[in-house]
């Protein structure tokens, strides 16, 4: 048995040796090889004892910031997730950002301008949640803010293991968020145990808290009886005690993972070697060239087919019944082109990342084909932009159209830096792409997309650029569009004024914080709407604007809003058909339908329909 191969599991000790015996006498007529006998050994099995991993105890800074992390988590739960992503989220994120910066900041670590800019952009993005409320924009902004925050934490703690100039830096970001937050939990628990063994300070702190509880049981009732404000505060806390306990438990559950995310960066190994990207290049150039060639030929055939639109000699390519209209051109193929551009970016990135170098340089054929596919993507984006321009000129603006247009600009920026990187590999492309695209989206969010769309559509309709104005979509967009409905309701155009008043009534009916009073049919705003954690500038502006406008109307002018409100209470409102239905038993009937000539909902003869 080979002892050397079993060092990690068992080791053996010779117990006894046997003397070598003399070989037997050899016959004279034969020549036999001598046989050598090995000494016999007896072995004893002893199991391998693993070396217990030693954990470094928390220092004073770790102890303090563990509780600050718990506080940050509680603020995020209470201010943001239980009150909506509004001003409370902005405050909680600023607190989390400050705690992270103070804990991870080391003078010895080199901070890149890129990571600091990402941190500043994340703070700017967090501010937008307290200003405007568009579900799609805020959802994208939420992930963008925390993505920039992750890059910032990696940068200030010098925890990047890959170069920050290409897409591989995203692997570091994903690893730190999804792996280190869980794998580092063992180190946090081990260090916490080592800390409690080394010092009894934490135990003594708990004893002090326990001793204070009986004293508080006597002092707090006396203070409640002495002051009305304190009595109201304690009453509110007691009333919501169950919610606070749930929030604290959620924060306590999340704190170890959040602190593990921080702790793994603060206790990173020094003198790390940067991961080289060369070992990931396993695809030989001929495979990449043939792959890109097939893709490029397909795109060349597509470009050839486009000649049918410009030269009569190629008209035979088009279907015999083809008729060109602006609306058909605007609708057809937009999202397909957009998807092709996204696929092309992925193709170029992967091919250039995994293709082997020739004499340390990328293949010329790969570079040329990659450039062709990139330029083809630029052409598709230009065509898509033209389709979107026609779409907007016919149907008006919407938040989705604005966001898609902004995304097309971002893709053009990405392609431009990709082409630059293909011919100048030493130039970083990922950092400027992240900074420029993030700044562009944050600026778009500050521009208040829903308000700009409502403003454009109203002016375009009044000037005759678009044929119809959909007030239902304006009302459903977000709170930012409500002031423009108020302007229409106050205007001289009776049709638009009546239609706007009906949409304002529907807005009040769907709102949780603003509604009609039961006695005198005035509008009131609930006090909960003014909770600073749930504050949103666009929402409060809309609430106050509707309340002031309606409560100052005469009884005659209120009638349109009240009639629509009564219909909402008594009938089912189908927003897609813009009509009211009366449901009874197994049938329903149309009772009110929108009249575009008056802006009101006319009563119709009952048309019964079976379910």
Q: Where are the beta strands (DSSP E) in 109-255?
A: none
Look over the chain and give the mean of its residue pLDDT values, rounded to a whole number: 80
pLDDT of residue 8: 45
Does residue 610 carry a pLDDT above 60? no
pLDDT of residue 11: 45
Asked if 121 contacts 148 with a C-beta cutoff of 8 angstroms, the reply is: yes
Average pLDDT over residues 459-478: 89
Count CA within 13 A, CB hemisphere, residue 184.
Answer: 21
Asked if 390 contacts 321 with a C-beta cutoff of 8 angstroms, the reply is: no
Short-list 149, 53, 148, CA closest to 99: 149
Report d(CA 273, CA 162) in Å as an integer: 9
Does residue 278 carry a pLDDT above 70? no
pLDDT of residue 27: 53
Listed range (89-103, 293-307, 531-545) with the worst mean pLDDT:
293-307
Q: Which residue has the higher pLDDT, 283 or 25?
A: 283
- How many residues comprise the chain? 611
pLDDT of residue 410: 92
Bridge partners, residue 574, by sequence? 579
pLDDT of residue 230: 75
Average pLDDT over residues 141-167: 85
Listed range (246-250, 436-440, 527-531, 540-544) with the worst mean pLDDT:
527-531
Average pLDDT over residues 42-50: 56
Given pLDDT bands bounded at 50, 70 and 90, which one contains residue 4?
very low
Asked if 546 contacts 508 with a C-beta cutoff of 8 angstroms, the reply is: yes
Average pLDDT over residues 510-522: 79
- The pLDDT tens digits of the residues spanning 398-440 come to 898 899 889 889 989 988 988 888 888 778 888 999 999 999 9
Average pLDDT over residues 291-303: 88
Average pLDDT over residues 304-328: 57
Average pLDDT over residues 100-124: 89
Does residue 249 carry a pLDDT above 60? yes
Q: Which residue has the higher pLDDT, 63 or 89?
A: 89
pLDDT cut 70: percent of the chain above it: 80
Read off the DSSP letter of residue 465: S
- The tokens describing 368, both together, are 């040329």
Does residue 269 carry a pLDDT above 70? no
Q: Which residue has the higher pLDDT, 309 or 70?
A: 70
Q: What angle do CA 134, 460, 458 make, to 5 degrees?
A: 50
Does residue 35 carry a pLDDT above 90? no
User: 277 vs 89, 164, 425, 426, 510, CA distance in Å?
Assistant: 38, 12, 13, 13, 55
Q: Which of 247-256, 356-365, 570-579 has the highest mean pLDDT?
A: 247-256
Q: Which helix (H) or strand (E) holds 317?
A: none
Given pLDDT bands bounded at 50, 70 and 90, which one contains residue 131?
very high
Residues 6+ apart with CB under 8 A from 409: 440
How far is residue 244 CA from its own chain's centroid? 27
**DSSP readout, 559-584?**
HHHHHHHHHHHHSEEETTTTEEEEEE
Listed range (300-309, 341-350, 484-493) with the worst mean pLDDT:
300-309
Listed range (278-287, 324-333, 387-396, 520-529) with the worst mean pLDDT:
324-333
10 Å CB burial of residue 353 (0-12, 13-18, 19+) is middle
Distance in Å from the first CA to the final CA of the chain: 84
Count CA within 13 A, CB hemisphere, residue 357.
Answer: 11
Report d(CA 588, CA 324) in Å as an integer: 42
- The tokens describing 396, both together, are 């008006």
Average pLDDT over residues 274-280: 53
Does residue 2 carry a pLDDT above 60? no
pLDDT of residue 481: 92
Does residue 15 carry a pLDDT above 50? no
Q: Which helix (H) or strand (E) holds 307?
A: none
Given pLDDT bands bounded at 50, 70 and 90, which one contains residue 540?
very high
In 3-state terms, what secondary structure has residue 356?
A: coil
Helix (H), strand (E) counts: the chain:
22, 6
Report d(CA 424, CA 421) in Å as an integer: 5
Q: Which residue has the higher pLDDT, 143 or 426?
A: 143
Listed range (149-158, 228-237, 258-267) with the worst mean pLDDT:
228-237
Report d(CA 533, CA 78) in Å as an integer: 9
Angle of helix 241-266 versus helix 228-239 axis, rounded to 10? 80
Q: Which residue has the higher pLDDT, 31 or 396?
A: 396
Given pLDDT bands bounded at 50, 70 and 90, which one contains residue 41?
low
Report d(CA 271, CA 19) in Å as an integer: 56
- The tokens describing 284, both together, are 């030989």
pLDDT of residue 609: 55
- The pLDDT tens digits of the residues spanning 479-505 come to 999 999 999 999 888 899 989 999 999
Does residue 21 carry a pLDDT above 60? no
What are residue 608's phi and psi, to 5 degrees?
-80, 140
pLDDT of residue 28: 53
């Amino acid at each position: 048995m080979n002892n050397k191969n079993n060092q990690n599991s068992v080791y053996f000790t010779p117990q006894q040796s046997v003397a070598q015996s003399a070989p037997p006498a050899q016959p004279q007529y034969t020549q036999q090889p001598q046989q050598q006998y090995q000494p016999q050994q007896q072995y004893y099995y002893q199991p391998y004892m693993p070396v217990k991993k030693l954990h470094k105890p928390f220092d004073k800074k770790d102890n303090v910031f563990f509780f600050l992390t718990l506080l940050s988590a509680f603020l995020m739960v209470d201010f943001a997730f239980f009150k909506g992503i509004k001003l409370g989220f902005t405050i909680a994120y600023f607190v989390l950002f400050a705690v992270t910066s103070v804990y991870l900041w080391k003078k010895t670590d080199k901070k890149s301008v890129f990571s600091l800019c990402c941190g500043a952009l994340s703070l700017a993005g967090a501010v937008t949640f307290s200003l405007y409320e568009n579900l799609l924009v805020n959802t994208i902004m939420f992930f963008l803010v925390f993505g920039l925050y992750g890059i910032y934490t990696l940068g200030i703690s010098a925890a990047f293991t890959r170069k920050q100039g290409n897409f591989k830096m995203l692997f570091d970001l994903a690893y730190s968020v999804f792996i280190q937050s869980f794998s580092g939990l063992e180190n946090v628990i081990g260090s916490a145990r080592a800390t409690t063994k080394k010092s009894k300070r934490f135990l003594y702190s708990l004893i002090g808290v326990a001793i204070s509880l009986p004293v508080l049981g006597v002092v707090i009732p006396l203070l409640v009886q002495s002051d009305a404000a304190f009595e109201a505060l304690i009453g509110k806390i007691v009333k919501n005690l169950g919610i606070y306990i749930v929030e604290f438990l959620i924060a306590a559950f999340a704190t170890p993972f959040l602190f593990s995310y921080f702790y793994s960066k603060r206790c990173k190994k020094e003198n790390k070697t940067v991961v080289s990207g060369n070992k990931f290049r396993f695809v030989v150039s001929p495979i990449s060239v043939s792959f890109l060639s097939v893709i490029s030929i397909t795109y060349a055939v597509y470009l050839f087919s486009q000649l049918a639109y410009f030269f009569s000699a190629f008209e035979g390519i088009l279907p015999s019944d083809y008729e060109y209209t602006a609306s058909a051109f605007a609708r057809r193929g937009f999202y397909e082109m957009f998807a092709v551009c996204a696929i092309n970016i992925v193709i170029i990135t992967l091919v250039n990342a995994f293709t082997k170098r020739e004499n340390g340089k990328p293949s010329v054929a790969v570079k040329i084909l990659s450039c062709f596919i990139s330029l083809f993507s630029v052409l598709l984006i230009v065509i898509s932009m033209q389709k979107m321009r026609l779409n907007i000129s016919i149907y008006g603006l919407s938040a989705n159209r604005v966001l898609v247009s902004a995304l097309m600009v971002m893709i053009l920026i990405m392609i431009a830096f990709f082409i630059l990187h293909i011919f100048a590999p030493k130039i970083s492309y990922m950092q400027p792409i992240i900074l420029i695209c993030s700044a562009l989206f944050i600026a778009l969010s500050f521009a208040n997309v829903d308000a700009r769309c409502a403003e454009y559509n109203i002016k375009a309709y009044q000037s005759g650029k678009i044929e119809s104005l959909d007030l239902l979509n304006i009302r459903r967009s977000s709170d930012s569009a409500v002031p423009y409905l108020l302007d229409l309701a106050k205007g001289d155009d009776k049709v638009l004024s009546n239609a706007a008043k009906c949409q304002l009534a529907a807005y009040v009916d769907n709102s949780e914080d603003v509604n009609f009073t039961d006695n005198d049919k005035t509008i009131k705003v609930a006090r909960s709407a003014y909770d600073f954690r749930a504050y949103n500038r666009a929402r409060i502006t809309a609430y106050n604007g509707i309340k002031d406008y309606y409560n100052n109307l005469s009884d005659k002018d209120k009638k349109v809003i009240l009639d629509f409100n009564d219909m909402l209470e008594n009938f089912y409102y189908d927003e897609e058909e813009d009509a009211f239905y009366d449901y009874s038993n197994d049938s329903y009937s149309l009772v009110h339908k929108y009249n575009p000539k008056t802006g009101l909902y006319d009563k119709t003869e009952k048309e019964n329909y079976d379910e």
